[in-house]
Amino acid sequence: VSTIASGEFWAFVGVVAGIYTLLALGVQLEFGFAGLLNFGHVAFMAIGAYTMAILVVKSDWSLWLATPAAILVAAFAGVVVGLPTLRLRADYFAIATIAFSEIVRYVATNEDRLTGGSQGTINLAGAGQAASYNGQWERFQDRVQTALHLGSKDVTMLVLVWAVALACTAALYAAGRTPWGRVLRAIREDEDAVASLGKNAFAFKLQALALGSALAGLAGCFYAWQFSFFSPGDFAPLLTFFAWMIVILGGLGRFFAVPVGALVFGVLFAGTRFFDFAPFDWFDSAERAYLRLTLIGLLIIGLVLFRPQGIAGRREELVLE
Amino acid sequence: VFLQLVANGLVTGSVLAIGAVGVSLVYGILRLVNFAYGDVMTFGAFVGVLINVKLGLQMLPAAALAMVATAALSIALEGVLWRPLRARRAGFMSLFLVSIGLALVLRHVIFLVAGPQPRSYDVDPYKVYVLGEVRLSGSQGVAVVSAGVAIVLVALLLGATSLGRTMRAVADDRVLAAVAGIDTGRVVVLTWLVAGLLAGLAGVLAALVQSSFDPNFGFSLLLPIFAAVVLGGIGSAYGALLGGLVLGLATELSTWPELHGGVDPVYKPVVAFAVLIGCLLLRPQGLLGRARTL
């Protein structure tokens, strides 16, 4: 039986799509609503994952305290980055944030004593001891699996991550319909007009960035639990661009377009790994990885050129300018 | 040690400066923040590998052909991608995202064709120039000299030819330039030609200086190049040159032991990124630029 037909494989694809949903919801809030071009989104995912892992391994915190703390630290990092940079023009803001995300990755790679260095979280407790941060998570997952009579660990993770991802999507959908959400969209369209109505546009943008960073931090925690080990290399700028791709693919300006985009992206990205017919069988697995990323690049270009509203976006709501 | 660090800084800086002048020209004329520039440099470096290593030609013809190839690629991309996008009145956001997509395509096509293994040029690695206390490898010497020549040529092109004058006019105000009878389409193609030649040269020289490189190396140079561009004032070619040199010196000198022990060399890229963010925040008009609303 080929892997493509196995339920286990598709459960894995679903889990990854759920984690991407959380990550991309932040981009949707920041760009699709507030118009912020954050190209360093992955940094806040890294900050969330590392904060959770470090608090559990080094400070012996309970996972259930470390996770909210990690999300708060990610949100706080968003505020710290936003305070000086949000007044920059959109393209400068993009370059400043991607530089920030590379600084985070370099620091995580080289500060061995804090993060375990390039070897990843296995070194968190120092060399020679294999550190693990997700014992408590595994026990929780087992309890959920028994309580809900689920077939496997993967399916349990699938249920958990999508429950959280859809809850976040729904909460953001509701928030987007409040006066707060309307102000954000107005900022995206015309910041000066918003300011002239007496609204503090800067404060609203900062809130969007903090909330988006918190979502990235949460995505980082789920990423950490799913793979039970991670290293700085996992948080390369490519991941930020995946999140952007998902938002553009799903449709800008609509939160429910994000899970749609993430699922389509997950199937495209993971599914093509197992295409074993021509022209895919001309390439070995490493080459197919390059081919996949080439196709993703072409898809980004094609979407911007031919369908800027994505799969589920409304053209009248927002088109890329 | 200090003089050696200054020399290394000038080598790094002059390579960054060539790339930065290319990025700055494209931004000035086309208002395009080109995320694909680093990968165009990679393309140039790998064309150099093909000619120098596979075909066994000398470094000089290899570099020249690499520059021609990147210029051809840049002009072809103008034809199939950027011109149609401008015809659709795409905003800077669309152009930005398309350049990211293009960066992914270029990098991974190079991975597909050339493979992930590190490459190096067929040059004598033991050739060393000694000037007083300073030792420069043959590659470093070649990089500084050819970067200097290239920059003088670009400065002459912009400052002393009618083409340069029209380029500056278009950069200043595209509509006004068109009204004044300048063929902006031709200027755009020539801008891509110059920027492409510079990308090829920057790619080959950066590859020579690093001595070993893989298809990711151009992208890793992109942020330092952006930093040089911002430092010099976005859109200013002379500023980009100065920005490159200052950034090269700053990153190398940050490791100087007399400076509170210096920064750990692994953090050299972080110094460049910090300069980038600091400059955006404190002096977005660049070192030479006058303050104005950006």
pLDDT in tens, chain B (294 residues): 788 888 888 888 999 999 999 998 898 888 888 999 999 999 999 999 999 888 888 888 999 999 999 999 999 999 999 999 888 877 777 888 899 999 999 999 999 999 899 998 888 777 788 877 788 888 888 888 888 888 888 888 888 888 888 888 888 888 888 888 888 888 999 999 999 999 999 999 999 988 889 999 999 899 899 888 888 877 677 788 888 888 898 888 888 877 777 778 788 888 888 888 888 888 777 766 654 433
Q: How far is A32 from chain B (nearest CA, A)?
A: 12
| B112 to A291: CB separation less than 8 angstroms, yes or no | yes
Tokens of A145: 């699996």
Task: Tell me which residue has tokens 């889990």.
Answer: A15
Q: Which residue has the higher pLDDT, A143 or B30?
A: A143
Say which of A100, A294, A299 has its CB closest to residue B108.
A294
Looking at residue A275, what is its pLDDT? 65
Q: Which residue of A has its CA nearest to B87?
A: A305
B89 close to A (CB below 8 A): no
Give the number of A-B residue pairs with CB atoms closer than 8 Å: 122
Q: How far is A247 from chain B (nearest CA, A)?
A: 12
Q: At what angle do helices A201-227 and A41-58 cross, to 10 degrees?
A: 50
* Contacts (Cβ under 8 Å, ≥6 apart) of A187: A34, A35, A194, A201, A204, A205
| B281 to A37: CB separation less than 8 angstroms, yes or no | no
CA distance A185 to B204: 46
| B97 to A305: CB separation less than 8 angstroms, yes or no | no
List chain A residues with CB under 8 Å of B294. Answer: 89, 92
CA distance A86 to A191: 12
What is the sign of the dihedral through the CA atoms of B219, B222, B224 and B225? positive
Residue A313 has pLDDT above 90, yes or no: no
Amino acid at A2: S
Predicted model pTM: 0.89
| B91 to A90: CB separation less than 8 angstroms, yes or no | no
Q: Which residue has the higher pLDDT, A222 or B131?
A: A222
Q: How far is A226 from chain B (nearest CA, A)?
A: 27
CA distance B147 to B18: 7
* Contacts (Cβ under 8 Å, ≥6 apart) of B250: B9, B271, B272, B275
For A139-163, b/e burial (b = at least 16 CB within 10 A) is ebbeebbeeeebeeebbbbbbbbbe
| B100 to A299: CB separation less than 8 angstroms, yes or no | no
CA distance A108 to B17: 29
List chain A residues with CB under 8 Å of B34. Answer: none
| B93 to A100: CB separation less than 8 angstroms, yes or no | no
Say which of A92, A244, A248 has its CB closest to residue B280.
A92
Interface of A with B (CB under 8 A): 37, 84-85, 88-92, 94-96, 98-100, 102-103, 106-107, 109-110, 238, 241, 244, 248, 283, 286-287, 290-291, 293-294, 296-301, 304-305, 308, 320-321
Confidence of residue A111 (pLDDT cuts 50, 70, 90): confident
Task: Tell me which residue has tokens 């979502």.
Answer: A215
Q: Which of A10-14, A175-179, A265-269, B166-170: highest mean pLDDT?
A: A175-179
| B94 to A106: CB separation less than 8 angstroms, yes or no | no
Amino acid at B16: L
Task: Tell me which residue has tokens 């110059």.
Answer: B194
Q: How crowded is residue A282: how many other Cβ atoms within 10 Å of its Cβ?
A: 9
A305 touches A47 (CB < 8 A)? no
* Contacts (Cβ under 8 Å, ≥6 apart) of B156: B164
CA distance A84 to A209: 13
Nearest to A217 by CA among A229, A205, A235: A235
Give the CA count within 13 Å in the CB-facing half-sphere of B6: 6
Say which of A96, A106, A241 has its CB closest to residue B269.
A106
Mean pLDDT is lowest, of A8-17, A308-317, B213-222, for A308-317
Q: How crowded is residue B289: how many other Cβ atoms within 10 Å of its Cβ?
A: 16
User: What is the per-residue DSSP string for B56-121?
Assistant: ---HHHHHHHHHHHHHHHHHHHIIIIIHHHHHTT--HHHHHHHHHHHHHHHHHHHHHHH-SS-B--
Q: Hey, which residues does B129 pair with through a beta bridge?
A: B136
| B88 to A305: CB separation less than 8 angstroms, yes or no | yes
